[in-house]
Chains A and B, each alone.
Chain A
């Protein structure tokens, strides 16, 4: 493999890291509060608002059921406002984040649902406010589940980021398609796949180790 190609490979890897990392973190910042909102506004939650809960649920399902390649182009006007351009790595981060947030929200909601209702009842009996129930009971108890959710999201984002090439986002997936497939360089394709496999393995096992460390059940 030529040095130019190797340099390109390294740049693509960094682009993938930037897209997955940024979308993951911003997605979590939006998705975790969204998941908490879904959980507490549920009919069985501590702040029941069935209509709000249902509306949020519908929006989240709508985003999650839109194929990513369509989401990528559908949000271009918004991307242009937020990233200043509709092409490039920064532009790809906007749709990736929009896809990640509802994904995390659903997984966080599931993790919160696993927290025993008795704990919430005990906290209420101690005179806890709703904010304290969220911050002292629900989030700490669901933390292992939330970390697991974040891990799963990062892994999914690696897959999504491969489609970012469609709007010039770059990244390893794009490199594989353009060089490996379109220029008939199977060794590039193979290396892309191997690097992605290794990357996902590292993310997943780091996540698993963290979950084990956090979980005292």
Chain B
């Protein structure tokens, strides 16, 4: 459905220096997929999503959407092609001078449709997003969640094949975020729409994405199914992002204490469970079979993409051989084991906490782990 080939985007910034927002990104997104692009602010994801409908024309590379090479189209043909690509925004971008109905009707008016055609298209959309009763209200009279529903209805009005979502839930509270994501999921299933969403919240990816690309400094540094990325994140930036929603990394306090205690020959292991394994008594089976002793330091069981997902960090003094046997047994049942013993060495003091590089203007999650456990 969407194909990016070697897309780069650079521009001269205010100080006159060259900024590379997107560097050599190639990407294929299939029809009907919900594809997430995640990254910290400034990673280039906003520019990347705007290159999908050419709001930002890439400096080089090609963009194909729904079989058309957008980068090769004339301005008129591009406007036509944009009817097939809906877009929703972080700050909704609704016209304050138009009612809910008028806002949803706008793309159809722009396309030159008649009043009756517009009414026939807009009313079912208002039903779909649950705003039929608010049709004559102005955006200023709506809550954030309702505004985004208007944005979604408006984006769907021209019957697009692709929906781009630019941080659509970042200005909403957690409960409203969940409701909006459920709506997107519903649209994806019922209308078969391909959705590309960019976000800085792993929560969003966790809830609805099928695949995810992690962006850092303009590049895609990691790409895969959400479950795979959660199970075995390859990059520090990915681990840090996952750490926002899953108790994946060992809290630095626990790590510090272990280092001080000098745990001797003990091994620090992280087990990742996905899907049905969570339900099976695999661990207790392993304990009985291999006479394994361990203490649980940290962990969480949650749902990723509708599948149970668990992460458990344990400390064990069992022998190397026992651990190898137990790991093999667990691996047979789809549980991955990762040896984190190196983190116990004082030299590796940076690996305990998520590798956050905070930039000015970054949203800093406070006490998210505690909140997640409550939730």
Contact surface of A with B, Cβ cutoff 8 Å: 116, 118-119, 121-129, 132, 136-137, 140-141, 143, 214-217
Contacts and interface: CB of A to CB of B under 8 A. Distances in A.
B110 interface: yes
A-B pairs, top 9 by smallest CB distance, nearest first, are A127-B82, A216-B138, A127-B79, A122-B93, A118-B93, A125-B87, A126-B107, A140-B97, A217-B96
Contact of A136 (B82, B85, B106, B139): B106
Contact of A216 (B83, B89, B93, B140): B140
Contacts of B164: 125
A143 B98 CA distance: 12
Interface of B: 53, 55, 78-83, 85-87, 89, 91, 93-98, 106-107, 109-111, 138-140, 158, 164
12 contacts: A116-B91, A121-B89, A122-B87, A124-B82, A126-B106, A126-B158, A127-B79, A127-B110, A127-B158, A128-B79, A128-B110, A215-B96
Nearest to A121: B55
A125 B53 contact: yes
B137 to A, nearest CB: 9
Contacts of A118: 89, 91, 93
Given A125-B82, A141-B96, A136 B55 contact: no
Contacts of A137: 95
Nearest to A140: B97
Q: Which of A116, A122, A143, A214 has the most chain B CB within a 10 Å cutoff?
A: A122
Nearest to B103: A122
Nearest to B110: A128
A136 B110 contact: yes
A137 B95 CA distance: 7
B55 A125 contact: yes
A141 B91 CA distance: 16
A124 B87 CA distance: 10
A140 B158 CA distance: 22
A217 B55 CA distance: 26
A122 B98 CA distance: 14
Contacts of A122: 87, 89, 93
B83 A126 contact: yes
Nearest to A120: B93
By secondary structure, the A interface counts as: helix
Nearest to B109: A136
B110 A132 contact: yes
B93 A116 contact: yes
Contacts of B91: 116, 118
A217 B142 CA distance: 11
Nearest to A137: B95
Contacts of B111: 127
B79 A216 contact: no
A122 B53 CA distance: 11
A145 to B, nearest CB: 11
Nearest to A217: B96
B85 A125 contact: yes
A141 B83 contact: no
Tell me which of B85, B94, B97 has the highest count of chain A C-beta atoms within 10 A of its own C-beta: B97
A133 to B, nearest CB: 9
Nearest to B108: A126
Contacts of A140: 95, 97-98
B113 to A, nearest CB: 13
A127 B109 CA distance: 11
Nearest to B92: A118
Contacts of B95: 119, 137, 140-141
A40 to B, nearest CB: 16
Contacts of B89: 118, 121-122
A124 B83 contact: no
Contact of B55 (A124, A132, A143, A215): A124
A140 to B, nearest CB: 5
A143 B85 contact: no
A119 B83 contact: no
Contacts of B53: 125
Contacts of B87: 122, 125
Contacts of B86: 125
Contacts of B107: 126-127
A217 B140 contact: yes
B124 to A, nearest CB: 19
Contacts of A123: 106, 110
Contacts of A217: 96, 140
Given A127-B111, A216-B138, 11 more contacts: A119-B93, A122-B87, A125-B53, A125-B55, A125-B164, A126-B106, A126-B107, A128-B110, A137-B95, A216-B97, A217-B96
A216 B158 contact: no
Contacts of A125: 53, 55, 82, 85-87, 164
A209 B181 CA distance: 41
B93 A121 contact: yes
